[in-house]
Homo-oligomer: A and B are copies of this chain.
Amino acid sequence: MTRRMKCVIAYDGTDFSGYQVQPGKRTVQGELEGVLKRMHKGSDVRVAASGRTDAGVHAYGQVIHFDTPLALSPEQWKKALNAQLPDDIAVRSVDEADSTFHARFSAKAKEYRYNVWTAAERDVFRRYYCAWHPYPLHIDAMNEALGLLKGTHDFTSFCSAKTAMEDRVRTIYHAEIEADGPMLQFRFIGTGFLYNMVRIIVGTVLEVGQGKRPPADIKSLLAAKDRRLAGPTAPAEGLYLWHVYYDRESFDHK
């Protein structure tokens, strides 16, 4: 009998060439499939994830699934995987899922967070885990800009120009900043995010925070559908895939 196992995993993206397998590169998917192949005596086991993450991007709550004939309990799977995975990937939980569950296609929404360290001083212990942006920022103006991004919009101005032709309409449910001293954390929940979308939003909203643009620019940027008019792509190291929601209830009331 084949079982479908669903895992929530965390990884430190620093030493990976992103999530997705690429020949000759160290990737999260490559490490996962390598361990599963050993556990299945050399048979390939394909891992499906909720989505890719780029080089240097972290995950606290990436979700993957795979099918297996092995009769291990979820707790045994968690132990076995954690014992064999490298130190920069951790399996946080394992559950047996329905055969109709799919890590990507069953997802109802995703949460991303982006950390910005705003102190004048560089923090050597955070250099791989935050973007460093040592400039005075108007948090209220930034939250106003983020408010204008909420709702259903065509986000063409906020995705990489390399994005393949596709529907660029997405819905953002939550977009806020939590400040804890010099550490800012952007929090986004939405139906899905286009390539580089969170990083371009953060790069643009930081320009608002520095007074380089008014918050109302967001409206004209959304209307213009032109990536060149938005701000720079914020660096990978601040970004975390935080949570994948498979149930509307769980994020509607957040």
A208 at the interface (CB under 8 A from B): no
Which of A82, A90, A129 lies at the interface centre, i.e. has the most chain B CB atoms within 10 A of its CB? A90
* CB atoms of A88 and B12 under 8 A apart: no
Interface residues of A in 1-17 (CB under 8 A from B): 10-12
A87 at the interface (CB under 8 A from B): yes
Closest to A60 in B: B125
Closest to A89 in B: B124
Cα of A122 to Cα of B11 in the assembled complex, Å: 11
A138 at the interface (CB under 8 A from B): no
* CB atoms of B122 and A129 under 8 A apart: no
Complex partner residue of A125 from B12, B121, B122, B124, CB under 8 angstroms: B12
List of B residues within 8 angstroms of A58 by Cβ = 125
Complex partner residue of A124 from B11, B123, B124, B127, CB under 8 angstroms: B11
A38 at the interface (CB under 8 A from B): no
* CB atoms of B129 and A88 under 8 A apart: no
Closest to A11 in B: B124
Interface residues of A in 35-68 (CB under 8 A from B): 58
A228 at the interface (CB under 8 A from B): no
List of B residues within 8 angstroms of A88 by Cβ = 124, 127
A219 at the interface (CB under 8 A from B): no
A153 at the interface (CB under 8 A from B): no
Cα of A129 to Cα of B124 in the assembled complex, Å: 11
Cα of A12 to Cα of B128 in the assembled complex, Å: 11
Which of A58, A92, A123, A124 lies at the interface centre, i.e. has the most chain B CB atoms within 10 A of its CB? A124
* CB atoms of A87 and B127 under 8 A apart: yes
Closest to A82 in B: B122
Complex partner residue of A123 from B89, B90, B123, B125, CB under 8 angstroms: B90
Cα of A227 to Cα of B11 in the assembled complex, Å: 38
List of B residues within 8 angstroms of A90 by Cβ = 121-124
Binary flags per residue of A7-31, CB closer than 8 Å to B gives 1, else 0: 0001110000000000000000000
21 sample A-B contacts, Cβ–Cβ < 8 Å, listed by A number: A10-B123, A10-B124, A10-B125, A11-B124, A12-B124, A12-B125, A12-B127, A58-B125, A82-B122, A87-B122, A87-B124, A87-B127, A88-B124, A88-B127, A89-B124, A90-B121, A90-B122, A90-B123, A90-B124, A92-B121, A125-B129
Residues of A within 8 A of B (CB): 10-12, 58, 82, 87-90, 92, 121-125, 127, 129
